[in-house]
Amino acid sequence: MSHLPEASAERFSAALHTSSRLWRLALDKRLKHLGIGQSGWVTIAMIAKSAEPMSQRALADLVGVEGPSMVSMLDRLERDGFVTRAPSPTDRRVKLVHLTDAGRTVYAEVMKEATAFRADLLADVDPAALAAATTLLETLRKRIEDAL
């Protein structure tokens, strides 16, 4: 049972949800010139950050969408030349997703804009407060993952 007053916990929850949503919307606005929406650049970023090619299913889980939604997204990204899909060498039923050179170029632009956005937004934030907030969010993420 929590020792926090319910109003504090509710305020935190609302602030977390709203801040996360607005963060994504503001970054998406800075990335409009790429011609792909938030789900597209998030998908490209997840592929780029992976050490090895990911299956469509693993990518859907990571992005937090259903399999059919990911297939539609990958269809668009493949059509636009940002990704390719190839059968897994160990299981031909599994499709592995790879970035193309164009996809890597988009990812580089996403990273450039995201880095500048973070720098602007966090410029005057106390480093100790940022570290404490990061630790809190990482703790919450772990608790949620363990509960799933």
The count of domains in the chain is: 1
40 lies in which domain range? 34-122
And the tokens for 71? Answer: 């297939």
Asked if residue 95 is part of any domain, the answer here is: yes
Asked if residue 44 is part of any domain, the answer here is: yes
Asked if residue 79 is part of any domain, the answer here is: yes
Asked if residue 7 is part of any domain, the answer here is: no
- What is the greatest pairwise CA distance in the chain? 54
Asked if residue 88 is part of any domain, the answer here is: yes
Asked if residue 102 is part of any domain, the answer here is: yes
Query: 53: domain CATH number?
Result: 1.10.10.10
Helices (H) and strands (E) counted in the chain, each on its own, are 6, 3
Show the low-confidence residues of the chain (pLDDT under 50). none
d(Cα 6, Cα 103) in Å, to the nearest integer?
45
Contact 86, 48 (CB under 8 A): no
Q: Which run of H or of E encompasses 86?
A: strand 83-87
pTM above 0.75, yes or no: yes
pLDDT at residue 13, as a whole number:
93
